[in-house]
Structure 1
Amino acid sequence: MAKQFSYGKEEKLKSRKLTEQLFSKGKTFTVFPLKVFYMPVKEELDFPVKAGVGTGSRNFKKAADRNRVKRLLREAYRTEKNALTDYARANQKHVAIFFLYIDKVLPEYTLIKSKMPLAIGKLIKQLHEVAVANT
Protein backbone atom coordinates (compact mmCIF):
# COMPACT_ATOMS: atom_id res chain seq x y z
CA MET A 1 0.00 0.00 0.00
CA ALA A 2 1.37 3.41 -0.94
CA LYS A 3 1.90 6.10 1.63
CA GLN A 4 -0.90 8.64 1.80
CA PHE A 5 0.90 11.62 0.23
CA SER A 6 3.49 9.86 -1.90
CA TYR A 7 3.80 10.05 -5.68
CA GLY A 8 5.98 7.06 -6.40
CA LYS A 9 7.10 5.33 -9.54
CA GLU A 10 4.10 2.99 -9.66
CA GLU A 11 1.71 6.00 -9.70
CA LYS A 12 3.37 7.80 -12.62
CA LEU A 13 2.14 7.54 -16.18
CA LYS A 14 5.24 6.21 -17.95
CA SER A 15 3.89 3.88 -20.64
CA ARG A 16 4.21 5.43 -24.10
CA LYS A 17 1.43 3.19 -25.41
CA LEU A 18 -0.96 4.21 -22.64
CA THR A 19 -0.05 7.89 -23.04
CA GLU A 20 -0.70 7.80 -26.80
CA GLN A 21 -4.07 6.11 -26.20
CA LEU A 22 -4.91 8.71 -23.58
CA PHE A 23 -4.33 11.62 -25.97
CA SER A 24 -6.01 9.95 -28.96
CA LYS A 25 -8.99 8.14 -27.40
CA GLY A 26 -9.34 9.72 -23.97
CA LYS A 27 -11.80 12.37 -22.84
CA THR A 28 -10.87 15.88 -21.79
CA PHE A 29 -12.15 18.84 -19.80
CA THR A 30 -10.71 22.16 -18.66
CA VAL A 31 -10.47 23.78 -15.25
CA PHE A 32 -8.44 26.80 -16.30
CA PRO A 33 -5.39 26.83 -16.26
CA LEU A 34 -5.46 23.00 -16.27
CA LYS A 35 -6.59 20.79 -19.12
CA VAL A 36 -7.26 17.26 -17.91
CA PHE A 37 -7.07 14.22 -20.19
CA TYR A 38 -8.48 11.02 -18.72
CA MET A 39 -9.34 7.53 -19.82
CA PRO A 40 -10.71 4.55 -17.89
CA VAL A 41 -8.36 1.63 -18.54
CA LYS A 42 -9.72 -1.87 -19.12
CA GLU A 43 -6.61 -3.86 -18.21
CA GLU A 44 -5.47 -3.93 -14.62
CA LEU A 45 -2.69 -1.50 -13.72
CA ASP A 46 -0.29 -1.89 -10.82
CA PHE A 47 -1.90 1.21 -9.24
CA PRO A 48 -5.54 2.35 -9.63
CA VAL A 49 -4.62 5.81 -10.96
CA LYS A 50 -1.68 6.55 -13.27
CA ALA A 51 -1.03 10.29 -13.57
CA GLY A 52 1.24 12.49 -15.63
CA VAL A 53 1.84 16.24 -15.82
CA GLY A 54 3.18 18.56 -18.48
CA THR A 55 3.17 21.91 -20.21
CA GLY A 56 3.86 23.05 -23.73
CA SER A 57 7.16 24.41 -24.98
CA ARG A 58 5.14 26.89 -27.03
CA ASN A 59 4.10 28.69 -23.83
CA PHE A 60 7.39 28.34 -21.94
CA LYS A 61 10.53 28.54 -24.04
CA LYS A 62 12.95 27.90 -21.18
CA ALA A 63 13.20 24.34 -19.90
CA ALA A 64 13.67 25.67 -16.37
CA ASP A 65 10.23 27.32 -16.53
CA ARG A 66 8.59 24.16 -17.91
CA ASN A 67 10.24 22.10 -15.18
CA ARG A 68 8.97 24.51 -12.51
CA VAL A 69 5.40 24.24 -13.80
CA LYS A 70 5.62 20.44 -13.87
CA ARG A 71 7.06 20.40 -10.35
CA LEU A 72 4.16 22.56 -9.09
CA LEU A 73 1.61 20.32 -10.84
CA ARG A 74 3.16 17.16 -9.36
CA GLU A 75 3.17 18.67 -5.88
CA ALA A 76 -0.47 19.81 -6.10
CA TYR A 77 -1.55 16.40 -7.42
CA ARG A 78 0.44 14.58 -4.74
CA THR A 79 -1.34 16.44 -1.93
CA GLU A 80 -4.84 16.28 -3.46
CA LYS A 81 -4.98 12.81 -5.04
CA ASN A 82 -6.45 10.87 -2.10
CA ALA A 83 -10.10 11.39 -3.07
CA LEU A 84 -9.41 10.10 -6.57
CA THR A 85 -7.43 7.04 -5.50
CA ASP A 86 -10.04 6.20 -2.84
CA TYR A 87 -12.81 6.42 -5.46
CA ALA A 88 -10.86 4.25 -7.91
CA ARG A 89 -10.11 1.62 -5.25
CA ALA A 90 -13.69 1.55 -3.95
CA ASN A 91 -15.11 1.01 -7.44
CA GLN A 92 -12.29 -1.25 -8.72
CA LYS A 93 -11.52 1.19 -11.54
CA HIS A 94 -8.23 1.90 -13.25
CA VAL A 95 -7.74 5.36 -14.73
CA ALA A 96 -4.98 7.10 -16.69
CA ILE A 97 -4.91 10.89 -16.35
CA PHE A 98 -2.72 13.71 -17.60
CA PHE A 99 -2.75 17.29 -16.29
CA LEU A 100 -1.66 19.85 -18.89
CA TYR A 101 -0.95 23.45 -17.86
CA ILE A 102 -2.30 25.65 -20.67
CA ASP A 103 -1.78 29.24 -19.46
CA LYS A 104 1.07 31.35 -20.80
CA VAL A 105 2.05 32.86 -17.42
CA LEU A 106 4.23 31.15 -14.82
CA PRO A 107 1.80 30.12 -12.06
CA GLU A 108 1.94 30.66 -8.35
CA TYR A 109 1.65 27.51 -6.27
CA THR A 110 -1.51 28.83 -4.61
CA LEU A 111 -3.28 29.00 -8.00
CA ILE A 112 -2.36 25.42 -8.91
CA LYS A 113 -3.18 24.23 -5.38
CA SER A 114 -6.65 25.81 -5.55
CA LYS A 115 -7.48 24.44 -9.02
CA MET A 116 -6.27 20.85 -8.53
CA PRO A 117 -9.09 19.82 -6.11
CA LEU A 118 -11.64 21.29 -8.52
CA ALA A 119 -10.16 19.29 -11.40
CA ILE A 120 -10.04 16.07 -9.36
CA GLY A 121 -13.61 16.59 -8.14
CA LYS A 122 -14.84 17.12 -11.69
CA LEU A 123 -12.92 14.03 -12.81
CA ILE A 124 -14.54 11.88 -10.11
CA LYS A 125 -17.96 13.22 -11.09
CA GLN A 126 -17.41 12.39 -14.77
CA LEU A 127 -16.06 8.92 -13.98
CA HIS A 128 -19.12 8.29 -11.82
CA GLU A 129 -21.47 9.45 -14.61
CA VAL A 130 -19.77 7.07 -17.06
CA ALA A 131 -20.09 4.21 -14.55
CA VAL A 132 -23.79 4.93 -13.99
CA ALA A 133 -24.42 5.15 -17.75
CA ASN A 134 -22.73 1.77 -18.33
CA THR A 135 -24.91 -0.04 -15.77
Structure 2
Amino acid sequence: MYTFKKEERLCSKKLLDQLFSSGSSFLVYPFKVVYLREVLPVNYPSQVVIVVPKRRFRRAHDRNLIKRRIREVYRLHKHDLFYSFLKERNMQILLSLQYVGKEIVNFSMMDKKLQAVFRQLNKIYSEDGHKDN
Protein backbone atom coordinates (compact mmCIF):
# COMPACT_ATOMS: atom_id res chain seq x y z
CA MET A 1 0.00 0.00 0.00
CA TYR A 2 2.71 2.50 0.94
CA THR A 3 4.81 2.17 -2.18
CA PHE A 4 5.92 4.53 -4.93
CA LYS A 5 6.43 2.44 -8.05
CA LYS A 6 7.95 3.32 -11.40
CA GLU A 7 4.48 3.28 -13.01
CA GLU A 8 3.39 6.11 -10.69
CA ARG A 9 6.18 8.39 -11.93
CA LEU A 10 5.53 10.59 -14.91
CA CYS A 11 8.33 9.92 -17.40
CA SER A 12 6.61 10.15 -20.78
CA LYS A 13 7.83 13.15 -22.78
CA LYS A 14 4.50 13.34 -24.60
CA LEU A 15 2.48 13.41 -21.36
CA LEU A 16 4.89 15.91 -19.76
CA ASP A 17 4.52 18.28 -22.73
CA GLN A 18 0.75 17.90 -22.56
CA LEU A 19 0.71 18.58 -18.80
CA PHE A 20 2.78 21.76 -19.03
CA SER A 21 1.09 23.11 -22.16
CA SER A 22 -2.56 22.60 -21.20
CA GLY A 23 -2.58 21.88 -17.46
CA SER A 24 -3.98 24.15 -14.74
CA SER A 25 -1.96 25.24 -11.73
CA PHE A 26 -2.13 26.63 -8.21
CA LEU A 27 0.35 27.50 -5.49
CA VAL A 28 0.60 26.12 -1.96
CA TYR A 29 3.95 27.49 -0.86
CA PRO A 30 6.55 25.94 -1.22
CA PHE A 31 4.85 23.93 -3.99
CA LYS A 32 3.59 24.98 -7.38
CA VAL A 33 1.20 22.29 -8.56
CA VAL A 34 0.33 21.70 -12.22
CA TYR A 35 -2.43 19.17 -12.86
CA LEU A 36 -4.36 17.81 -15.82
CA ARG A 37 -7.14 15.25 -15.99
CA GLU A 38 -6.10 12.64 -18.52
CA VAL A 39 -6.59 8.96 -19.37
CA LEU A 40 -3.32 7.31 -18.39
CA PRO A 41 -1.67 4.24 -19.93
CA VAL A 42 -1.17 2.73 -16.44
CA ASN A 43 -3.53 1.30 -13.86
CA TYR A 44 -2.88 4.03 -11.26
CA PRO A 45 -5.10 7.05 -10.50
CA SER A 46 -2.20 9.49 -10.89
CA GLN A 47 1.26 9.90 -12.33
CA VAL A 48 3.51 12.48 -10.70
CA VAL A 49 6.73 14.30 -11.57
CA ILE A 50 8.74 16.07 -8.86
CA VAL A 51 10.71 19.13 -9.93
CA VAL A 52 13.39 20.96 -7.93
CA PRO A 53 15.09 23.75 -9.93
CA LYS A 54 18.84 23.69 -10.40
CA ARG A 55 18.83 27.48 -10.63
CA ARG A 56 17.65 27.81 -7.03
CA PHE A 57 19.53 24.84 -5.52
CA ARG A 58 22.93 24.58 -7.17
CA ARG A 59 24.15 21.58 -5.20
CA ALA A 60 22.84 18.20 -6.26
CA HIS A 61 22.72 16.89 -2.69
CA ASP A 62 20.31 19.72 -1.76
CA ARG A 63 18.03 18.95 -4.72
CA ASN A 64 18.15 15.24 -3.93
CA LEU A 65 17.30 15.85 -0.27
CA ILE A 66 14.23 17.89 -1.22
CA LYS A 67 13.09 15.33 -3.79
CA ARG A 68 13.54 12.47 -1.29
CA ARG A 69 11.42 14.29 1.28
CA ILE A 70 8.68 15.09 -1.25
CA ARG A 71 8.61 11.48 -2.50
CA GLU A 72 8.37 10.17 1.07
CA VAL A 73 5.50 12.49 2.02
CA TYR A 74 3.71 11.68 -1.26
CA ARG A 75 4.16 7.96 -0.64
CA LEU A 76 2.78 8.18 2.91
CA HIS A 77 -0.35 10.21 2.12
CA LYS A 78 -1.36 9.42 -1.46
CA HIS A 79 -3.71 6.53 -0.60
CA ASP A 80 -5.61 8.19 2.24
CA LEU A 81 -5.93 11.70 0.87
CA PHE A 82 -5.67 11.39 -2.90
CA TYR A 83 -6.03 7.97 -4.53
CA SER A 84 -9.22 7.07 -2.68
CA PHE A 85 -10.83 10.33 -3.87
CA LEU A 86 -9.77 9.74 -7.50
CA LYS A 87 -10.84 6.08 -7.49
CA GLU A 88 -14.35 6.78 -6.24
CA ARG A 89 -14.78 9.31 -9.08
CA ASN A 90 -13.07 7.00 -11.60
CA MET A 91 -10.53 9.69 -12.56
CA GLN A 92 -6.89 9.75 -13.57
CA ILE A 93 -4.70 12.84 -13.47
CA LEU A 94 -1.20 13.97 -14.32
CA LEU A 95 0.51 15.90 -11.55
CA SER A 96 3.63 18.03 -11.27
CA LEU A 97 4.95 19.03 -7.85
CA GLN A 98 7.42 21.89 -8.35
CA TYR A 99 9.37 23.05 -5.33
CA VAL A 100 9.51 26.87 -5.50
CA GLY A 101 10.71 27.59 -1.95
CA LYS A 102 13.94 29.48 -1.44
CA GLU A 103 15.18 27.36 1.46
CA ILE A 104 14.99 23.69 2.42
CA VAL A 105 12.01 23.18 4.74
CA ASN A 106 11.89 20.38 7.31
CA PHE A 107 9.96 17.16 6.81
CA SER A 108 6.99 18.07 9.03
CA MET A 109 6.41 21.37 7.20
CA MET A 110 6.60 19.59 3.83
CA ASP A 111 4.18 16.97 5.17
CA LYS A 112 1.65 19.61 6.18
CA LYS A 113 1.92 21.51 2.88
CA LEU A 114 1.59 18.41 0.66
CA GLN A 115 -1.54 17.40 2.59
CA ALA A 116 -2.89 20.88 1.81
CA VAL A 117 -2.07 20.27 -1.87
CA PHE A 118 -4.09 17.03 -1.82
CA ARG A 119 -7.03 18.76 -0.13
CA GLN A 120 -6.92 21.55 -2.73
CA LEU A 121 -6.92 19.04 -5.61
CA ASN A 122 -9.84 17.16 -4.04
CA LYS A 123 -11.74 20.42 -3.67
CA ILE A 124 -11.07 21.39 -7.30
CA TYR A 125 -12.29 18.05 -8.65
CA SER A 126 -15.23 17.73 -6.28
CA GLU A 127 -16.81 20.84 -7.79
CA ASP A 128 -19.15 19.54 -10.48
CA GLY A 129 -18.57 22.31 -12.98
CA HIS A 130 -14.78 21.84 -13.22
CA LYS A 131 -13.68 20.19 -16.45
CA ASP A 132 -10.23 20.72 -17.90
CA ASN A 133 -10.36 17.90 -20.40
Q: Normalising by structure 2, what TM-score?
A: 0.91
List per-residue Cα deviations over 1:100-120 (Å, max 9, x = no partner).
110111121111011111000
Q: Is the 8 A contact 1:44 1:94 kept in 2?
A: no
Write the distance in 2 (CA, Å) between the matches of 1:126 and 1:106.
28
Kindly tell me the number of residue pairs found equivalent between the two proteins: 130
- Residue 64 of structure 1 corresponds to 61
Among 113, 116, 120, the residue aligned to 2:114: 116
Q: Which structure 1 residue ranges, 4+ long, deviate > 4 Å from structure 2?
A: none
Identify the match of residue 90 of structure 2 among 68, 89, 92.
Answer: 92
- After superposition, the CA RMSD in angstroms is 1.5
Query: Which deviates more from structure 2 when the two are superposed, residues 106-115 or residues 36-45?
Result: 36-45
SS, match of residue 133 in structure 1: coil
**Residue 67 of structure 1: how far off its partner (Å):** 0.9
Output the CA distance in 2 between the equivalents of 1:5 and 1:22: 26
Identical counterparts, % of pairs: 29
- Cα deviation, 1:62-86, whole Å, max 9, x if unaligned, reads 1111111111111111111112111
Distance 2:130 2:116 in 1: 24
Q: For residue 46 of structure 1, what is the aligned residue in structure 2?
A: 43
- Asked whether 1:32 is paired with 2:34, we answer no
TM-score normalised according to structure 1 size: 0.90
5+ residue gaps, structure 2: none
Contact 1:48 1:93 in 2 (8 A): yes
Alignment counterpart, residue 72 of structure 2, candidates 72, 75, 79: 75
Supply the AA of the counterpart residue of 2:107.
Answer: Y
TM-aligned CA deviation for residue 89 of structure 1: 1.1
Structure 1: distance between partners of 2:102 and 2:112 = 18
